[in-house]
Structure 1
């Protein structure tokens, strides 16, 4: 019998965590023994791997930000050792790691199970921020990743980026597998009603929705500024954020709301156990990221029938949103699931020093207004939905993760 271990940093409601939970449910339903280890377990966790109370484990219940420098160093050095003991104790046959930190720790356990790592973002852009950990992660691409049996890239663009721009040494271990989704479950959850009266009132207006971490990667200030231009023509529209994240980024975003007098038009709902009913009742899902892989939320939006507007932060975006091969976006391009607008990334990661409006923010605004103006985009998505989602079948993808590269 396969005994599977899932490794991830947190239990929040991000894309990697939802992916891990989808795998957990599928493997459990198919009779496998499955355990999950969160490096950090918090009271605010949304994702829980508790089948009869004995499938979820953690290495710390104190967040990295709450640890002293010495505590963090001790945690990083001890984590692979503790994981190795757990793998041997539970007789794990397959492990799946989600993201750079989990991949690195897995590669340093020196255990004998079939090890799968996964890359979920365009790393050359992320590595533009030359932090200590990014330096370590990039070095591991040439060293410890040799201990992984397979490294899953969730888009073709990510694989190309690793090879061409990140000096990834073990090319033979790379395999492109798109993220799986249980669309039956997503659609069941999307049909549940919103029950909070205040939220019902909010969703009686036209809605632009953001789902994800409020962080540097997602660069929500671009979306705020684009929405400011939307309000000039559609003043009843609301921009709703579902998720939490970096307090510095959130504080900066709130300062923009004050500057542009938008406090009544932009609502932060925080984390939600079920974001899908909010997604289904929205007019458009919006992303303004500086870099991505293949964002799960785009596929989920397609699954529930809500059009998407996203900046062209990676070709992985158009792998999800379009039925044709698009390699360049200089102006707004209409695709099967919505509109792709030009890339907003200008080479620097971090809160911007200037608040001058970018031409790309104006393109993003025009794309949002186009979708808000007509139901044509929703009808077009309905027409192409099945063709767009068929490569994300949960059973096919979950089984591929456990198979050696051919």
Structure 2
């Protein structure tokens, strides 16, 4: 019998954590024994694994002294090794850089899988201590994985061309999605306090308030949209950096933008997504963002700024990507917001890219053509995210990419 360990940094409602939960439920349905390890477990966690949940610390890194944090970093691989031995783990799957690196250092012999969820060369523009460790691991400890899953072709190409990745163990496997479960949860009633809001025309942002997600671009674009569609609402679901949230609040006040609602975390985001008119992404970089696939599953058009791999996700046929505005079967991809710096901007001056993004939002809201096109191509768009095929592929010996 397969005995699987899923390793993740946190238990928040981010894409990697939702992916881990999807795997957990699917593998258990097949009769496998599954344990889920959170490196950090917090009281605010949304993702839970019942009696199969393990954790290494109940204190976040921000609550540790630097000395304690460094001791913890060096202890994590040993803790994971003990768990693997205790539960006779046959397969481990790590989600994201932190979990990957710790897993690569355990010196254990299970079938070991890592996963890459973003275009790393952009992320590494932030030259902090952890990013230096993660990049060095691409030339050293990633040799210890039987398979390193890239969730898009763009991520794999970036690792090889721009990050000095040194090993022949990369395989492209798209994120799986339990479409039936997404649709089931989307049918649940909204909390009473939110019903009236979603009777209006809602642009929905779902994700962490982080520099990566760059929500200030969406806010500026929505400010332009509001002048044309004054009844439109922007709803942001997710938590994250207080610094990012404070910047958005200042920006909203500066431009006198109304109808923006911060709902914080929601344990079931699908019931909100299903009632939105458009799902909006403004990220500087992504992998294959789960929110796009979830929107496609629910028939909600997407407007996204270009990031490497996004067009690949939103097209039926994978064609050469372009940074120009592109209309796809799932919505519209606009020119990129990323200009070489990963930071909160010093000003809130509206950019040309934000103007184009506002036009794309207006175009999507102003017609049902995008909803109809998505419905026509929905099955083909979702085919590569089939949960059974993807979950099985993670546990199989590597298929070499050509």
Same fold (TM over 0.5): yes
Residue correspondence of structure 1 range 222-241 to structure 2 within 5 A: 222-241=217-236
Residue correspondence of structure 1 range 255-334 to structure 2 within 5 A: 255-262=250-257, 264-314=258-308, 316-334=309-327
The answer to whether structure 1 residue 72 and structure 2 residue 74 are counterparts is no
The structure 1 residue matched to 2:243, chosen from 239, 242, 248, is 248
| SS class of match (2:196) | helix
| SS class of match (1:130) | coil
Unaligned residue ranges in structure 1 (runs of 5+): none
Q: Equivalent residue for 2:211? A: 216
Residue correspondence of structure 1 range 327-406 to structure 2 within 5 A: 327-406=320-399
Q: Equivalent residue for 2:9? A: 9
1:330 deviates by 4.4
| SS class of match (1:290) | coil
1:333 deviates by 1.6
1:331–1:363 Cα contact (<8 Å) kept: no
1:217–1:349 Cα contact (<8 Å) kept: yes
Runs of at least 4 residues off by over 6 Å: none
How far apart are the structure 2 equivalents of 1:196 and 1:349?
A: 38
1:201 deviates by 1.2
The answer to whether structure 1 residue 193 and structure 2 residue 189 are counterparts is yes
For 1:3-26, what per-residue CA distance to the aligned partner results, in whole angstroms no more than 9, with x for missing partners? Answer: 000000000000000000000000
| SS class of match (1:175) | strand
How far apart are the structure 1 equivalents of 2:83 and 2:188?
A: 39
Q: Equivalent residue for 1:23? A: 23
Residue correspondence of structure 1 range 162-201 to structure 2 within 5 A: 162-170=159-167, 172-197=168-193, 199-201=194-196
Unaligned residue ranges in structure 2 (runs of 5+): none
| SS class of match (1:136) | helix
For 1:248-273, what per-residue CA distance to the aligned partner results, in whole angstroms no more than 9, with x for missing partners? Answer: 111101111111112x4110111111
How many pairs align? 399
Inter-CA distance 364–326: structure 2 relative to 1 (3 Å threshold): farther
| SS class of match (2:225) | helix
How far apart are the structure 2 equivalents of 1:174 and 1:186?
A: 29
Q: Equivalent residue for 1:125? A: 122
How far apart are the structure 1 equivalents of 2:104 and 2:65?
A: 25
For 1:232-286, what per-residue CA distance to the aligned partner results, in whole angstroms no more than 9, with x for missing partners? Answer: 1001111001100011111101111111112x41101111111001001000000
1:329 deviates by 3.4
| SS class of match (1:203) | helix
Q: Equivalent residue for 2:95? A: 98
| SS class of match (1:57) | strand
1:191 deviates by 1.1
Residue correspondence of structure 1 range 32-71 to structure 2 within 5 A: 32-50=32-50, 53=51, 55-71=52-68
Q: TM-score, normalised by structure 1?
A: 0.97
The answer to whether structure 1 residue 203 and structure 2 residue 201 are counterparts is no
Q: Equivalent residue for 1:155? A: 152
